[in-house]
Structure 1
């Protein structure tokens, strides 16, 4: 593990079976991916809501600026259209704020709280790894005395090493057992915890875009009238711009 700053001598006896270690690594890797995905989703949702707010406020400002533009004051029909746009943008901004508030309450905050659980989990895994390293160190120590000549002093040291090993082995086995039991449960619990938030996210979008359809349908009815196509408008604009360029005050030197 990355937090162990040194390698202990490996004992001859396998203290943890490869099967158990593979099972542990598999379960922990799933939780690491879950943590990364949760953090990424939380970050992306925050960026999305910030962008939504900025877009909505910009649309409101554009409509307000148009209403104050002298060009719009010359034609009452066009001024009415701009006023209708201004009202629609303000309504859009209001519903957008409701959507953002809903995101914050039902999705962003729950994700933030969920992310706070992972540091404790990672610390438990770290303590398990530290216990494993200590277990291996003391097991190697026992094996060294077992390989020595069976003299009285050596037998005493062997007995002491075994006594030192026993509580460490029991501590590791308890931590290992607990994590192997609880990591799969924690991973499975993500469904019960996160699914309601994701459902709320979808519902908030449905409500928002349903209201947007109503708002812009009403706006279309208010401003809809026979007019120029985009191509015709573009040609007309080019013609008008040509007339402006022909004026002496903007003529090139």
Structure 2
């Protein structure tokens, strides 16, 4: 552990204010939830104590920033904290992406269902007994089955095997962050006590009790800090080492569910093909439908393009139109 004066102090005053506000928020929330926990006198005393601790930490950080108090730098803890913060950010990103995937799956099946409804109505309105109407109705049934399957076989298992483990892991981070903040506060107390002790050693006081008292404060602050620091240095790597065995089952379950959804979708939508004409199925199997240029598709005999002067009215109807509709306009 290295002790030195460093002008580039990373613990800014606003961080101490932020931590202090968090402590105050928890205190006030507990008092509001359980008024009997604290009497008004105890609440006032707690607020006074909180204010004294907060401004004490602010003073210590300002003294560190100006080089009047040496700052303890623990490289081992700093390295573990960087790796932990990276893991925390990745888990939060993963949870957001996993939720986005679930929402996208539900949105896709819902949109597909609305599209199938429209196609079914479109073809059934003309001739319910036609091959196109039967194919449209078969497509609607397949899409409805897929939508039901997503709700039954994807949403609940996905929530249990993917979203809940991610939520539990992300719920650990606030607890760990609170311990890190507590460790940083104790580090400030330790640095302040050490600086005070060193000054008394360098320039003895006329009061013979000051040096023993400063030594006792220093030893107590060091003991508390070392306890928290060593605990975090030991436990942060353990948390990171758990990420593979913890998330492996979730990733496996997610892949299996995706495969099952894709297989069922292929099976159900593939069943719609039997309502298509033989030549359409053959063209699809041979890849000719995918390679065909839409401009080369032959138009039905009752349609042809309308070419008229570019007037606002004509632009409105500048499209492919049935013959009888064309005769009514030209």
Fold conserved (TM > 0.5)? Answer: yes
Find the aligned partners of 1:127 and 1:8 in 2 and give their Cα distance: 19
Q: CA RMSD in A?
A: 2.7
Three-state SS of the structure 2 residue aligned to 1:73 is: coil
Provide the residue aligned with 2:175 in structure 1.
120
1:206–1:101 Cα change, 3 Å: same
2:279 is paired with a residue of what secondary structure?
coil
Any idea what the Cα deviations from partners look like across 1:184-240, whole Å, max 9, x if unmatched? 111101122111111111111111111112112222233253259653674527736
Structure 1 residue 152 displacement after superposition: 4.3
The number of residues matched between the two structures is 246
Aligned-pair CA distance for 1:146: 1.0
Moved more, 211-220 or 83-92: 211-220
The within-5 A match list for 1:158-177 is: 158-177=211-230
Q: RCO higher in 1 or 2 (8 Å CA, sep ≥ 6)?
A: 1
> Once the two structures are superposed, what CA deviation does each residue of 1:106-145 show, in whole Å capped at 9, x if it has no partner?
1011101110000000010111111001100011111111
Alignment pair present for 1:45 and 2:98: yes
Question: Is 1:94 paired with 2:148?
Answer: yes
**Correspondence list, 1:1-16, <5 A:** 1=11, 3-4=15-16, 6=58, 7=61, 9-10=63-64, 16=72
Change (3 A) 1:77 1:15: closer
Shift of 1:65: 2.5
Matches within 5 A, 1:38-187: 38-69=91-122, 72-74=125-127, 76-97=130-151, 98-149=153-204, 152-153=206-207, 155-187=208-240
Stretches of structure 1 that go unaligned for 5 or more consecutive residues are none
More helix by share: 1
Instruction: Kindly indicate whether the alpha-carbon contact (under 8 Å) linking 2:113 and 2:147 is maintained by their aligned counterparts in 1.
Output: yes
The Cα shift of 1:96 comes to 2.2
User: Any unmatched runs of 5+ in structure 2?
Assistant: 1-10, 18-57, 284-288, 306-318
Contact between 1:81 and 1:223, CA under 8 Å: does it hold in 2?
yes
**Per-residue CA distance 1:55-80 (angstroms, 9 max, x = gap):** 11121122123222366432521111
1:239 to 301, 304, 323: 304
Q: Structure 2: how far apart are the matches of 1:120 and 1:110?
A: 17
Deviation at 1:99, TM superposition (A): 1.7
CA contact (8 A) 1:8 1:133 kept: no
Is residue 72–residue 78 contact of structure 1 (8 Å, CA) maintained in 2?
no
- TM-score, structure 1 normalization: 0.85
Q: Equivalents in 2 of 1:112, 1:57: separation in Å?
A: 26
Shift of 1:177: 0.8
Whether the 8 Å CA contact 2:150–2:261 is kept in 1: the answer is yes
More moved, 186-195 vs 115-124: 186-195
Q: Please say if residues 31 and 187 of structure 1, whose CA atoms lie closer than 8 Å, have aligned partners that are also in contact.
A: yes
Q: Is the 8 A contact 2:123 2:133 kept in 1?
A: no
Cα deviation, residue 51, structure 1: 1.7
Q: Does the 8 Å CA contact 1:8/1:136 hold for their aligned counterparts?
A: no
* 2:76 is the counterpart of 1:23: yes
Residues 185 and 169 of structure 1: CA distance in aligned 2, closer, same or farther (over 3 Å)? same
